[in-house]
């Protein structure tokens, strides 16, 4: 029966992300900083997880580990069952390129290039031919509501529009996991809500799993699960009802 089949898959398929006993220590000796003090965290396909916690509690460090931008000092990170800590630098770069998308507070757009060209960058790395690149990048820009701004440079766009370009660039490769570190940190509350609604929509319609760091409970309220960090540990992990969802 289909239901049994789904449960069977649940039991046998490895989770998208599984951190087990992950630590990260920066520096050594007296100056050593324990950024992650033993993190266990599982994220399944399709989830939308908000990560909260005080400044310095290890949220960005955890995102960098999840994004293969940094390696744990000890512990295990499995991505779809593959032990990431055993991969070479080159293999981790490929994992980033084919499975992960990133959105940061500072947008990180190329200033002298158009919105469309910014969104094309990850496709260049993937070796897509020019015409195909144009088509796929235009679709991603349309998906974030910026079809009519394709030829604008970042300086010619508002903060919210720049962040939407950054999101288009992050999703143009259809990543399995989108990592967003304070994606609305520089935006006013109206633009922040627009960006959150966009992220919710990408999660719901494209099945992109999302891990998002935020300080703002109003932004975390869009997620269906909130993980709280304190001193490099997970101190709470709770399911939440997304804002605006019908309560039944």
- Binding of Mg ion at residue 61 (CB under 5 A)? no
Binding partner of residue 110 among ligand ATP, Mg ion, none, CB cut-off 5 to 8 Å per kind: none
118 contacts which partner out of ligand ATP, Mg ion, none, CB within 5 to 8 A by kind? none
Q: Which does 33 bind (CB under 5 to 8 A by kind): ligand ATP, Mg ion, none?
A: ligand ATP
Closest CB to ligand ATP among 94 and 236?
236
> 217: number of CA atoms within 13 Å, CB side?
1
Angle between helices 130-143 and 159-171 (to 10 degrees): 130
Calculate the alpha carbon distances from 161 to 33, 90, 120, 195, 205 in Å.
37, 33, 16, 9, 21
Q: In the complex with ligand ATP, which residue's Cβ is closer, 117 or 182?
A: 182
Q: Which class for 146: exposed (0-12), middle (13-18), buried (19 or more C-beta within 10 A)?
A: buried
Q: Does 33 bind ligand ATP (CB under 6 A)?
A: yes
Partner whose binding site includes residue 35, from Mg ion, ligand ATP, none (CB under 5 to 8 Å by kind)? ligand ATP
User: Under the criterion CB under 5 A, does residue 60 sit at the interface with Mg ion?
Assistant: yes
Radius of gyration of the CA atoms of the chain, in A: 18
Window 39 to 98, contacts with ligand ATP (CB under 6 A): 53, 55-61
Contact yes or no for 169/141 (Cβ under 8 A): no
Collapsing DSSP to helix, strand or coil, 131 comes out as: helix
Output 150 or 212, the one with its CB closest to Mg ion.
Answer: 212
Judge residue 29's burial from the number of C-beta atoms within 10 Å of its C-beta, 0-12 exposed, 13-18 middle, 19 or more buried.
exposed
Q: At what angle do helices 189-206 and 159-171 cross, to 10 degrees?
A: 20
Interface stretch with Mg ion, choices 12-20, 60-68, 109-117, 118-126 (CB under 5 A)? 60-68
Binding at 235: pick from ligand ATP, Mg ion, none (beta carbon under 5-8 Å per type): none
The site for ligand ATP (CB under 6 A) is made up of 26-27, 33, 35, 53, 55-61
The site for Mg ion (CB under 5 A) is made up of 60
């Amino acid at each position: 029966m289909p239901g049994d089949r789904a449960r069977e898959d649940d039991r046998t398929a490895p989770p998208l992300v599984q951190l087990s006993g992950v630590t990260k220590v920066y520096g050594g000796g007296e100056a050593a900083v324990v950024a992650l003090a033993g993190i266990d965290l599982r994220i399944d396909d399709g989830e939308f997880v908000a990560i909260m916690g005080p400044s310095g509690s290890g949220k960005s460090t955890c995102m960098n580990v999840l994004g293969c931008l940094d390696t744990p000092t000890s512990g295990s990170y499995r991505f779809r069952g593959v032990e990431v800590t055993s991969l070479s630098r080159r293999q981790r770069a490929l994992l980033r390129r084919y499975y992960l998308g990133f959105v940061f507070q500072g947008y990180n757009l190329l200033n002298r290039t158009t919105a469309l060209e910014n969104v094309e960058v990850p496709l260049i790395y993937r070796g897509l031919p020019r015409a195909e690149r144009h088509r796929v990048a235009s679709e991603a820009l349309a998906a974030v509501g910026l079809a009519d701004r394709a030829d604008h440079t970042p300086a010619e766009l508002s903060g919210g529009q720049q962040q939407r370009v950054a999101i288009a660039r992050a999703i143009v490769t259809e990543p399995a996991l989108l990592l967003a570190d304070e994606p609305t940190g520089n935006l006013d509350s109206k633009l922040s809500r627009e960006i959150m609604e966009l992220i919710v929509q990408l999660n719901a319609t494209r099945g992109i799993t999302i891990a998002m760091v935020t300080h703002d409970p109003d932004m975390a309220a869009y997620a269906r699960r909130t993980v709280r960090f304190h001193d490099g540990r997970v101190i709470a992990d709770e399911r939440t009802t997304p804002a605006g969802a019908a309560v039944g």
